[in-house]
Amino acid sequence: MLQIYNTLSRRKEVFTPLNEGKIGMYVCGVTVYDYCHIGHARVMVAFDVISRFLRWRGWELNYVRNVTDVDDKIIRRAAENGETPAALTERMIAAMHEDERALNVLPPDHEPKVTGSMPEILEFIQDLLDKEYAYLASNGDVYYRVEKFVGYGKLSGQQIEELRSGARIEVDEVKESPLDFVLWKAAKPGEVSWSAPWGEGRPGWHIECSAMSRCCIGHTLDIHGGGPDLPFPHHENEIAQSEAANGCTYANYWMHAGPVRVNQEKMSKSLNNFFTIRDVLNEYNPEVVRYFLTSAHYRSYIDYSESSLKEARSALERFYQALQGVVLLDEWPEMEFEARFIEAMEDDFNTPKALAVLFDLVSELNQAKRTPGLRTQQLASELKRLAGLIGLLQQDPDAFLKGADKEGAITHQEIEALIQARNTARANKDFAGADQIRQQLLEQGVVLKDSREGTQWYREEA
- Residue 450 pairs with which residues in a beta bridge? 455
**CB neighbour list of residue 261: distance below 8 Å, 6 or more residues apart:** 267, 301, 302, 303, 304
When the candidates are 1.10.10.10, 1.20.120.640, 3.40.50.2000, 3.40.50.300, the CATH number that belongs to 261-400 is: 1.20.120.640
Of the candidate ranges 65-74, 159-168, 218-227, the one whose mean pLDDT is the lowest: 159-168
Q: What is the pLDDT, as a whole number, of residue 90?
A: 98
pLDDT tens figures, 109-162:
999 999 999 999 999 999 999 999 999 999 999 999 999 999 999 999 999 988
Q: What is the pLDDT, as a whole number, of residue 168?
A: 66
Angstrom distance (rounded) from CA 15 to CA 17: 6
pLDDT tens figures, 240-272:
999 999 999 999 999 999 999 988 888 877 677
**CB neighbour list of residue 410: distance below 8 Å, 6 or more residues apart:** 441, 444, 446
Crossing angle (nearest 10°) for helices 38-56 and 286-294: 70
Q: What is the pLDDT, as a whole number, of residue 272?
A: 75
CA dihedral over 120, 121, 122, 125, signed as positive or negative:
positive
Is 28 annotated as ligand-binding?
Answer: yes
Coil vs helix vs strand at 206? helix
Task: Give CB contacts under 8 A, 24+ apart, made by 400-409.
Answer: 400/285, 400/287, 400/316, 400/320, 400/462, 401/317, 401/320, 401/321, 401/324, 401/457, 401/458, 401/459, 401/462, 402/457, 402/458, 402/459, 402/462, 403/285, 403/459, 403/461, 403/462, 409/444, 409/445
Residue 172: pLDDT band with limits 50, 70, 90? low
Is 238 annotated as ligand-binding?
Answer: yes
Model confidence at 462: pLDDT above 60: no
Domains of the chain: which residue ranges?
15-257, 261-400, 403-459
Centre a 10 Å sphere on the Cβ of residue 160 and count the other Cβ atoms it contains: 16
Model confidence at 25: pLDDT above 90: yes
CATH number of 15-257: 3.40.50.620
Model confidence at 456: pLDDT above 90: no
Is 287 annotated as ligand-binding?
Answer: no
Residue 402: pLDDT band with limits 50, 70, 90? confident
Model confidence at 170: pLDDT above 70: no
**CB neighbour list of residue 299: distance below 8 Å, 6 or more residues apart:** 5, 255, 256, 257, 258, 348
Q: What is the pLDDT, as a whole number, of residue 461?
A: 65
